[in-house]
Each structure stands twice: as structure tokens, then as C-alpha cells.
Amino acid sequence: MEGIYEPKMEAPKIKTVSKWNARIPYIIAYGTLGITTLPIILMYLWLLMSSFSTQMKHGVIPVEFTLENWRFLWTNVEMVGSVYPSIWTATWNSFVFAGVLTVLEVIIGVMAGYALSRMEFPGRQGIMKMTMMLHAFPSVALLIAVFFILNFMGLFDSLLGVILVKTALQIPMTAWIIKGFFDDVPWDLEWAGLIDGCNRFKVWYTIVIPIIKPGIAAVSIFSFLAGWSEFLLLYTFVLSDDNITLSTYLQKLISDPNLVNYGLLSAVSLFYMIPVLIFFIFTQKSLMQVSAGGGKGV
């Protein structure tokens, strides 16, 4: 008898998991994530509102809508007698800085990464360890030494000088990331290229480079963002207003704590963020590939 009834008793067990029970893990996860990210979201919201209002009541409630804070877009900002440089000069300089940095870094990084991944030469292991160490150095520690070198070379107070310094500091990491992508390209593909009539260099740029395109994209994005947000080196080694960048422009706005115009500061900060946001929207897909550990299924 029991043998007959047993299956009937077990069958409903499977069905009774209610919809709500199944959702509990999700509710907990989203709830926790939501609460922890709330302060950050509120901060950005405050930034946005403060840039469009004349003042913030009690520091949080916006009063009266205004575009006055965004006036830096069409005039040169003037505060207490001193005229700030044009925001467009700063934006252009930031773009030049980040752009040239990206190009240099990617070109050198891709070549170095290939050599580290594929070529046998004495000291290869040593170089790989050294590059990692170089990256571990905080750039602050190098500031004084770098100043002497730039001064000696006549590159002090020029964007090019800082670009070179920043490139040198960034290359180890770039080369390492790119090396990972090269490692994933099978030797067979390179050999096939050699047999099909290419020399080593041609194999590199007609076969291997197109395959690691996602890696190059990711590295480009990283280095552009690093260049865009660079502050310390620019602040230390660039003094003239002609060479000002957005990050140092922002610094200028808050340099005198008694005269800080928070509305203006918020507006410039938001302006500084816009290119990064746009960049992120278009490049998210490539960025994700890095965390996946490199190479697409080749």
C-alpha cells in the first residue's frame, strides 16, 4: 500500500515553491545593492541640482533655476578681479593630452606585449618582473626626480613633457594586459601565416593584431580615461594658463577656500564628466572583455 501512495505525497512538494519565495534572493540582493549605492546616486543628484540653481538652501534644497553657473561655456569666468582661462582651451588640452597618451601607449604597449608574450630573449623574465615593479611605484615618489629630468630637457611646463612621463608610467600595465591577449592567440595561427607567405612582421599586423582588437580597444579606453583624469603630474609640471587642462582648471576654482563658488564648481565638474560618460556608453562592451581574461574565442 505504501508503495502506491508515496509518489503522490512527493509530487506536490515540487510545485509549492511560491513566486515570492523564488524572488527572495533577488529582493535581498537588489535591496542591499540599492541601499549601498544610494549615497553615490544622491551625491550626483546634488551635483546636478546645484549646478542649475542660484543657491542651495540648508545645503540641500535647490532654490531658483538658473543657467548662470554654466556661463563658462560662452564667456571667460571672472572672479574677484582675476580672469580664468577659457574652458575650451582646457577641454582641448585635455583631449590632446588623453589622445596622444592613448596613441603612444597603445603603440608601444602592443609591441612590448607581443615581445613579452612571443619572443624568447635573454632577460625576458627579468623585464616582466621589473615592469610590474615600475607600476607599483606611486608617481608622487617620482615627482622630484621627474622634475629634474623635465627641466633638463626643457620640457617643463609643456604638455608633451607630462605626456611622456605619464606614458612611461602607464606602459607596464598596458603591456601586461596586452600580453594576456597575445598569449591567447594560438601559435598555429602565426605558423599558418608564415607558411602562407608572410614574414614575422606581416603576420603580426595582418593576422595577430586583428584578432586581439578587443584587447586593444580595452587598453585604449583605459589609457584615455587615465589621461582624462590625470591631475597630479599636470598640476606639478604645467603652470601656464595656455596649457591648462580640465582637471587643473577645476583645481583653480577651489584653490582659494574663501572664494569657492559651488554652483560653478558643480557645473564644471559635470562638464568634465560628460565625455567620460559618452565614452563609457559606447565602449562598455569592449571594456567588459578585459575582466573576462582576454581573447575572444579564436
Rg (CA), the chain: 27
- Please report whether residue 217 would count as binding another protein according to CB under 8 A: no
- Please report whether residue 25 would count as binding another protein according to CB under 8 A: no
Least distance to another protein, CB of residue 293, Å: 18
- Please report whether residue 108 would count as binding another protein according to CB under 8 A: no
- Please report whether residue 242 would count as binding another protein according to CB under 8 A: no
- Strand (E) or helix (H) holding 56: strand 53-57
CB 88 within 8 A of CB 296: no
> What are the start-end ranges of the E strands in 107-151?
none
Among 79, 103, 142, 194, binds another protein (CB under 8 A): 194
- Please report whether residue 6 would count as binding another protein according to CB under 8 A: no
CA distances from 196 to 203, 204, 298 (A): 10, 13, 19
- Please report whether residue 186 would count as binding another protein according to CB under 8 A: yes
- Alpha carbon distance 179, 291 (integer Å): 14
- Please report whether residue 207 would count as binding another protein according to CB under 8 A: yes
Nearest to 265 by CA among 83, 36, 50: 50
User: Hey, what amino acid is at 66?
Assistant: T
How many chain residues are in contact with another protein, going by CB under 8 A? Answer: 19
Among 3, 197, 257, 293, binds another protein (CB under 8 A): 197
Least distance to another protein, CB of residue 185, Å: 10
Stretch that binds another protein, among 50-58, 144-152, 156-164, 183-191 (CB under 8 A): 183-191
The string over 190-219, giving b where at least 16 C-beta atoms fall within 10 Å of a residue's C-beta and e elsewhere, is beebeeeebeeeebbeebbbebbebbbbbb
- Alpha carbon distance 27, 35 (integer Å): 12
Among 59, 122, 210, 293, binds another protein (CB under 8 A): 210
Least distance to another protein, CB of residue 176, Å: 24
For another protein, the closer CB: 168 or 209: 209
- Please report whether residue 122 would count as binding another protein according to CB under 8 A: no
- Please report whether residue 292 would count as binding another protein according to CB under 8 A: no
- Please report whether residue 188 would count as binding another protein according to CB under 8 A: yes
SS3 label, residue 295 = coil
Least distance to another protein, CB of residue 194, Å: 4
What is the rounded end-to-end Cα distance, in angstroms, of the chain? 60
- Alpha carbon distance 195, 197 (integer Å): 5
- Please report whether residue 211 would count as binding another protein according to CB under 8 A: yes
Stretch that binds another protein, among 138-146, 171-179, 191-199, 250-258 (CB under 8 A): 191-199
- Please report whether residue 297 would count as binding another protein according to CB under 8 A: yes
Give every CB contact of residue 28 below 8 A, 6+ residues apart in sequence.
none
Least distance to another protein, CB of residue 122, Å: 16
The distance between the two most distant Cα atoms of the chain, rounded to a whole number of Å, is 99
Q: Which residues bind another protein (CB under 8 A)?
A: 186, 188-189, 191-199, 202, 207, 210-211, 213, 297-298
